[in-house]
Copies of this chain bind each other. A is one copy, B any other.
Amino acid sequence: MTKYLPDHLLNGYRAFLANRLPQERDRLRDLAEQGQHPKTMVIACCDSRAAPETLFDAAPGEIFVVRNVANLVPPYEPDGEYHATSAALEFALHALKVEHVVVLGHGGCGGIHAALSPSAEPLSPGDFIGKWMSLLDPVSKAVGANDHMTARERQAALERIAIRYSIANLRTFPTVEALVQEGKLSLHGAWVDIASGELWAMDPDTGDFQRPLAGE
Contacts and interface: CB of A to CB of B under 8 A. Distances in A.
Interface of A: 1-6, 8-10, 12-17, 19-21, 24-25, 28-29, 31-33, 35-36, 38-41, 46-49, 51, 53-58, 60-69, 72, 74, 76, 78, 80-95, 99-100, 102, 107-108, 110-111, 114, 123-129, 131-133, 135, 139, 142-143, 145-153, 157, 160-161, 164-165, 173-175, 186, 188-190, 193-197, 199, 201-204, 206-208, 210, 212-215
B148 A139 contact: yes
Contacts of A33: 195
A201 B13 CA distance: 12
Contact of A46 (B13, B88, B135, B146): B88
Given A68-B68, A87-B129, 5 more contacts: A20-B54, A25-B215, A46-B65, A68-B84, A150-B207
B48 A4 contact: no
CB-CB nearest 6 A-B residue pairs: A32-B195, A87-B132, A12-B56, A4-B201, A94-B123, A78-B126
Nearest to A6: B100
A36 B51 CA distance: 13
Interface residues of chain A: helix, strand, loop or mixed (majority): mixed
**Copies of this subunit:** 4
A91 B66 contact: no
Contacts of A83: 82, 128, 131-132
